[in-house]
Amino acid sequence: MFAEKEFIELSRKFVCLRLETYESEENQERVRKYLNGKLANTAFVVLSPDGKTQLSRASRSPTMSFSRGQVKNDELQREDVLEAMKKIASKYSAKDAPSKALVPDFSSFKQALNVSSADQRLLVFTVAPVSLREMQREELKKLTGDSELRGKFHYDTASSSDKDWAAVIKNVQASSGHFVIYPGEFGLDGKVVKHFPLEANVAEMRSVLLKLNADYKATEKPKDYSEHLSKARRLGVSYSNTMEYGEDRDGDGKIDSSRNTRRRR
């Protein structure tokens, strides 16, 4: 559903957040709060603009949150979700233009690269002195809020913990600027396909980014999750999370063991 055009267009009426659950203890606690102390690798909830009041049930998916309880097929469940989201959106009108929205940022470059690979998007990674970062973010708003670029790239700004980012990236030929990175197949490496200096003209960047995205989409084959996972296992590829990976479905505060998980299934 998330990839459907109608859902994407409707989602633009919301501020959409995807928590990096296995990179932050704080984010894990947020998920537990909405799932009655449990931790799952997927969760969904709609909040009011105050960021506190729930406008939907918290569950594992939009379908479960907006379900009316009847047994329905996928198409009817999809219609329920879209109808509920339209109803919520109609009650909260935007107070500013999309171009004023905050520039997306990840907890770390490592996470940004991995998510970019999973979502099959090019990553725009900004490296700038602390004194210039806020100004750079303001300039990038002209790109992230652009109607033709919105949702087509991931963005991240380097922090002090990202000092070794270039160790896994090919073709890095500058120490600062905006680096457009083609993420590797498993999100553990990548290569720079374009570099813009910090003082680059935003209009020129926009034109180049549109071309890069078109070329990327024309050559990048959509990933099949099962095949991708099987290949990673064969090659011994693994991604190390900051937090322990897994779910806590009994809500005891500890990640469930694989044995308990198999028993429940």
pLDDT digits (tens, 9 = 90+) for 189-221: 999 999 999 999 999 999 999 999 999 999 999
CA distances from 128 to 109, 125, 144, 206 (A): 14, 10, 18, 19
* Residue 91 confidence class, pLDDT cut points 50, 70, 90: very high
Contacts of 17 (CB under 8 A, 6+ apart): none
Q: Please give the Cα distance from 8 to 121 (Å, whole number).
A: 16
Specify the DSSP element, H or E, that contains 85. Answer: helix 74-91
Three-state SS at 127 = strand
Long-range own/partner contacts, residues 233-241 (CB < 8 A, 24 or more apart): 237/186, 237/188, 239/114, 239/186, 239/187, 239/188, 241/22, 241/23
Sign of CA dihedral 166, 158, 31, 18: negative
Given a contact cutoff of 8 angstroms between Cβ atoms, the answer to whether 54 and 36 are in contact is no
* Residue 72 confidence class, pLDDT cut points 50, 70, 90: low
CATH class label, 99-219? alpha beta
Average the pLDDT over 233-262 and give the result: 84
* Residue 265 confidence class, pLDDT cut points 50, 70, 90: very low
CA distances from 111 to 22, 33, 53, 132, 245 (A): 10, 23, 29, 23, 14
The token pair at 160 is 């002090």
Please choose, from the candidates 119, 126, 111, the residue with its C-alpha nearest in 3D space to the C-alpha of residue 179. Answer: 126
Three-state SS at 254 = coil
pLDDT at 12 over 80: yes
Please choose, from the candidates 136, 121, 116, the residue with its C-alpha nearest in 3D space to the C-alpha of residue 178. Answer: 136
Q: Please give the Cα distance from 153 to 205 (Å, whole number).
A: 13
> What are the φ and ψ backbone dihedral angles of 116, each rounded to 5 degrees?
-60, -40
Sign of CA dihedral 131, 134, 135, 140: positive
The token pair at 3 is 């990839």
pLDDT digits (tens, 9 = 90+) for 143-167: 998 989 988 999 999 999 999 999 9
Q: What is the pLDDT of residue 184?
A: 97
What's the pTM value of the predicted model, to 2 decimals? 0.86
* Side chain identity, residue 114: N
Q: Please give the Cα distance from 195 to 58 (Å, whole number).
A: 41
Please choose, from the candidates 197, 20, 212, 3, the residue with its C-alpha nearest in 3D space to the C-alpha of residue 123. Answer: 212
Q: Please give the Cα distance from 162 to 140 (Å, whole number).
A: 20
Sorted by where each begins, the domain ranges of the chain are 5-95, 99-219
Strand partners, 154: 123
Given a contact cutoff of 8 angstroms between Cβ atoms, the answer to whether 254 and 40 are in contact is no
* Residue 70 confidence class, pLDDT cut points 50, 70, 90: low
Q: Please give the Cα distance from 240 to 23 (Å, whole number).
A: 10
